[in-house]
Structure 1
Amino acid sequence: MARTTLYLVRHGEQGPDSAGGLSPLGCEQADQLGKRLSAVSFSAIHHSPVIRAAQTAEIAGGHLARVSRHACDFVTDRTPAPSAERRGRYPDRWLPWLDGVPSDERDEDAVALRAAVDHFGVTGEQDRNELLITHNFVIGWFVRHVLDAPEWRWIGLNHANCAITIVRWDSDRPPTLVSFNDTGHL
């Protein structure tokens, strides 16, 4: 039975500057994250191209010997928003907020996020552990998918900076949520 285990981590706390880098606390969170995960044998670190995620990967990756890391568009920051045809699948109370999502952040009908789940949520010939350093809504989408929750249920799944969520795919059963928003290392 092959197994894929994804460690989903929200980037460290963002600093106050407009460049989007980590705050001093965010750097400390990333360091603690790396220490916590240092015993895990990862095949790769995939991080969002956004600077706060890249910095988190750099700091945490310093504790993960010889694990390759790279910017990955599958885990970039995006907000799933329904198309006109799917608006009825979302509670009315969320529609005005979703209508205000800027076009450059908008992932209509979660096309990109569905592709991310399809890309990472597969098993192969061997067990593998992968670290995805990403953003709150991306993690919410993965959790919603694993729990087979309604399409809109990613809303309200708030993830702390540098907390760890673990999801697992086994070759012979549906995906599993192993842990959510674990902050024990912080």
Structure 2
Amino acid sequence: MSLEVVHSRVILVRHGHYERIGDEGDTVWGLTPLGRRQAVRTGRRLAQILDAAQGRFEGLFSSPWPRALQTAEIAAHELHIDRIKVKPYLHEVLPIVDANRVAEFGVHPGLPFTSPEDRALTVKQVEKVRDRFFRAPKQTQFAVIFTHGNLIRYLVAHTLRLPYEAWSRFDCSHCGITELRIYQEDFEALINYNDTGHLPPSLITTA
């Protein structure tokens, strides 16, 4: 006879394809028509995942930036969920490129080296997300988070006990679904990464 292992599922969804119009920036840029189609299909896939899930549902959480929040709203419609919990610390974070670790991780094309101050700010934000969603669970539960590619990759790197600089080795598609699982005794596992099986090849984009 098997016993249920208490765990917490953190389901991370990158936002859909989005407009980059002029210099309006991250607090303005929203989804393209392609991104909206991606979000609809993602919502339908999440409906299947949530329907089969066990434990307490913590809710849908989202970055405040439009491309993530719009993805969450479209998916929530497919899920018949009215409330999205918007958290400011779920917005995108800077890419970390360490000048002292080029031999290990190389230089990501087109990105400047990260200052110690910017790295510290990025790590602080990642830790804030972890403090909220990666605590050892007292009961089986799950949450869905709509956020951004760099933050997802940092969270995966942390779970795999990799340096944050390893983020650049992970591709992250629009509306890709990633699941991390947290158990008691401070054990974490990557269940799946960047799943795009709910999208036809014509709808899979990364940049």
Q: Give me the TM-score of the superposition, normalised by structure 2.
A: 0.77
Structure 1 residues 55 and 44, CA gap change in structure 2 (3 angstroms): same
Tell me which residue corresponds to 1:51.
66
User: Are 2:15 and 1:11 aligned?
Assistant: yes
Aligned length: 179
Tell me which residue corresponds to 2:42.
33
**Amino acid in structure 2 at the alignment position of 1:161:** H
User: Are 2:175 and 1:138 aligned?
Assistant: no
Alignment of 1:146-165 (within 5 A): 146-165=159-178
Structure 1 residues 16 and 81, CA gap change in structure 2 (3 angstroms): closer
Q: Among 83, 103, 111, which residue is 1:97 paired with?
A: 111
1:57 positional shift: 0.4
1:116 positional shift: 1.1
**Amino acid in structure 1 at the alignment position of 2:40:** D
Q: Which moved more, 1:73-82 or 1:17-26?
A: 73-82
Tell me which residue corresponds to 2:127.
114
Specify the structure having the higher radius of gyration (Cα): 2
Structure 1 residues 111 and 80, CA gap change in structure 2 (3 angstroms): farther
| Distance of 1:147 and 1:32 partners within structure 2 | 29
Tell me which residue corresponds to 2:33.
24
**Amino acid in structure 2 at the alignment position of 1:20:** W
* 1:11-56 alpha-carbon deviations (Å, 9 max, x no partner): 0000253431101110011000000011305421111111010100
Aligned to 1:21, the other structure's residue is in SS state coil
Structure 1 residues 127 and 98, CA gap change in structure 2 (3 angstroms): farther
Structure with the larger strand share? 1
Q: Give me the TM-score of the superposition, normalised by structure 1.
A: 0.84
**Identical counterparts, % of pairs:** 28
**Amino acid in structure 2 at the alignment position of 1:43:** E
- Runs of 5+ consecutive residues of structure 1 not aligned to the other structure: none
Contact 1:43–1:68, Cα closer than 8 Å, also in 2:
no
| Distance of 1:145 and 1:87 partners within structure 2 | 20
Contact 2:99–2:114, Cα closer than 8 Å, also in 1:
no
- Runs of 5+ consecutive residues of structure 2 not aligned to the other structure: 200-207
